[in-house]
Amino acid sequence: MAKKILLLIENEFRDEEAVYPYYRFIEAGYDVKIVGPEMGKEYKGKFGFTMKSDIAASGIYMGDVAAVIIPGGNAPDKMRVSRSMVNLVKDAFSQHKIIAAICHGGQLLVEADVVRGKKVTGYKAIATDLKNAGGKYVDEEVVVDNNLVTSRIPDDLPAFCRTTLELIKACNKE
């Protein structure tokens, strides 16, 4: 049973979209690792909260990973130019790991080319990007398409986390 959750981080992440899942998944008994382009670096959120990466994206072993969480803010736009961050998402997707993205997190999904043919949602400003990448965009609180979970805004965090946890449990037969 996979018990590790990877929380992807980069500067200007949306603070509550990183902090809320971080503590919610720890509360649920998971080992949450903060993953950035660099290991041991402190990343600053849009509103000033800082989080330090435990692991660099290039050093990930997917075998014990249950899910990858992608918070929004301006961070996904920065993550999408990091080859190691993009490859991490591609690898997770190809290994059928759960990938959960909220708000602008869908920008990293677009760059990793994992939304094609999938029903997805995200912040309204990236709806066209998701559609242009082949996604079937819908304006809903939370959307699940196989191993992909997407949500729109911080207000969706309770449904986003609850749904992601339910999917992890179902996929890992917990």
Which amino acid, one-letter code, is at 71?
P
CB neighbour burial string for 47-78, b if at least 16 within 10 angstroms, e if fewer: eeeebebbbbbeebeeeebbbbbbbbbbbbbb
Please check whether residue 133 is in contact with residue 113, taking contact to mean a CB–CB distance below 8 angstroms.
yes
Q: How many DSSP H helices and E strands does the chain contain?
A: 6, 11
> Is-catalytic flag, 104?
yes
Residue 120 has, within 13 A of its CA and on its CB side, a CA count of 34
> Which residues of the chain form beta strands (DSSP E)?
4-8, 31-36, 42-44, 50-52, 55-56, 65-70, 98-102, 119-120, 136-137, 142-145, 148-151
The first and second tokens of residue 63, run together, are 């075998």
Q: Which residues are catalytic?
A: 103-104
